[in-house]
């Protein structure tokens, strides 16, 4: 097995990146002189002609209403199943603004959660992290609801043919905005482990009572908060009727929360310092209804 020191690997990566830039720069410079884009290639009757005739304006000054189903991906402990809707208004065919919202209608525990539930072990050093393995799914952080506002750009569009028989228009929608997310996490608590002879118990942070032997009650206690986070993504849209289409969307919403309900900084407390960066992302399937239903076309 080839072994490279991290510094050597970094040098190789930098050299490779530089070489790639040189190659690409040379290729692009050469291309700019001959064929950097298509307009310089167009001659004869097409010179100066518009790039597209009778273009269907799927979005310009139209409202898109989209009910969707989504599920999160890349989760450590549980996957969210989301039902929601999205509304967008497009000022021109390539730009729009809209909002979306969804509610988590179900959770699917991941393989790791089931492993913890079946074979995790509790001892004094990890009692705060895992008071009871059987109830572990109840301490996992979850997202109850999702919403956001976003601006949408559609620079790519074209048409799609299936078997040279069925044609429909398609485009790619890039969007960025802000998300508002309802997070539910394990409530703040603190473990008292002053002496090894006294059974460990949890209390609210900074208090001595009430005592929760074995932290079993604290495992089930929940707290809720709203998180504001950036959101971005891309969507593939295909339109089958003047008023109907389908959207396949990926959306990323990175924010911090305590996914495992554990004492991640190992300070004997479950609190905001235990929140870890998570690249939350989801895949969405939606049905697009376009209003008004009548479509316009260019000349």
Residues 179-198 that bind other proteins (CB under 8 A): none
Quote the distance between the C-alpha of residue 264 and its chain's center: 23
Site for other proteins in 221-250 (CB under 8 A): 238-242, 244, 246
Applying CB under 8 A, among 158, 195, 196, 207 the residue interacting with other proteins is 158
Judged by beta carbon, residue 42 or residue 205, the one nearer other proteins is 42
Distance from C-alpha of 135 to C-alpha of 92, rounded to nearest angstrom: 52
Q: Please, which of residues 117-136 interact with other proteins by CB under 8 A?
A: 119-123, 125-126, 129-130, 133, 136
6-45 binders of other proteins (CB under 8 A): 6, 9, 16, 20, 24, 27-28, 30-31, 34-39, 41-42, 44-45
The yes or no reply on residue 207 touching other proteins (CB under 8 A) is: no
* From 95, 145, 168, 232, residue interacting with other proteins (rule: CB under 8 A): 168
Which lies closer to other proteins via its Cβ, residue 151 or residue 244?
A: 244
Least distance in angstroms from the C-beta of 114 to other proteins = 11
Is residue 203 packed enough to be buried (19+ CB in 10 Å), middle (13-18) or exposed (0-12)? Answer: middle
Q: What Cα–Cα distance (Å) separates residue 40 from each residue in 48, 50, 52, 130, 157? A: 10, 14, 16, 66, 21
- DSSP β-ladder status, 142-162 and 212-213: unpaired
Q: Indicate whether 260 belongs to the interface with other proteins (CB under 8 A).
A: yes
Positions in 67-96 near other proteins (CB under 8 A): 73-76
- Interface residue with other proteins among 63, 97, 103, 169 (CB under 8 A) is 169
What Rg, from alpha-carbon coordinates, does the chain have?
Answer: 27
State the CB neighbour count (10 A cutoff) for residue 184.
Answer: 17
Kindly write down the DSSP assignment for every residue of 176-221, as one continuous string. EEEEEEEEEEEPPEEEE-S-SSSPPEEESTT---S-EETTHHHHH-
Our finding on whether 161 is near other proteins (CB under 8 A) is: yes
């Amino acid at each position: 097995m080839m072994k490279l020191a991290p510094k050597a690997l970094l040098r190789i990566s930098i050299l490779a990146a530089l070489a790639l830039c040189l190659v690409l720069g040379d290729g692009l410079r050469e291309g700019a002189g001959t064929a950097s884009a298509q307009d310089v290639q167009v001659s004869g009757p097409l010179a100066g002609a518009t790039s597209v005739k009778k273009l269907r304006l799927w979005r310009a000054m139209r409202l898109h209403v989209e009910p969707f189903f989504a599920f999160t991906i890349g989760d450590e402990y549980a996957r969210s199943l989301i039902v929601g809707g999205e509304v967008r208004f497009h000022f021109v065919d390539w730009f729009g603004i809209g909002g979306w919202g969804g509610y988590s209608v179900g959770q699917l525990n991941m393989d790791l959660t089931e492993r913890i539930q079946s074979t995790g072990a509790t001892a004094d050093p990890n009692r705060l992290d895992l008071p009871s393995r059987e109830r572990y799914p109840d301490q996992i952080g979850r997202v109850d609801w999702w919403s956001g506002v976003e601006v949408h750009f559609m620079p790519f569009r074209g048409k799609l043919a299936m078997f040279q028989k069925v044609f429909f228009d398609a485009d790619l929608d890039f969007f960025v905005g802000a998300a508002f997310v309802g997070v539910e996490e394990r409530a703040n608590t603190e473990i008292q482990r002053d002496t090894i002879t006294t059974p460990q118990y949890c209390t609210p942070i900074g208090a001595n009572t009430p005592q929760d032997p074995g932290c079993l009650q604290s495992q089930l206690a929940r707290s809720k908060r709203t998180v504001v986070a950036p959101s971005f993504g891309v969507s593939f849209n295909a339109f089958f009727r003047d008023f109907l289409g389908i959207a396949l969307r990926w959306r990323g919403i990175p924010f911090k929360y305590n996914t495992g309900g554990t004492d991640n900084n190992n300070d004997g407390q479950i609190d905001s310092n235990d929140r870890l960066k998570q690249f939350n992302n989801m895949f969405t399937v939606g049905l697009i209804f376009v209003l008004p239903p009548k479509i316009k076309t260019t000349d």
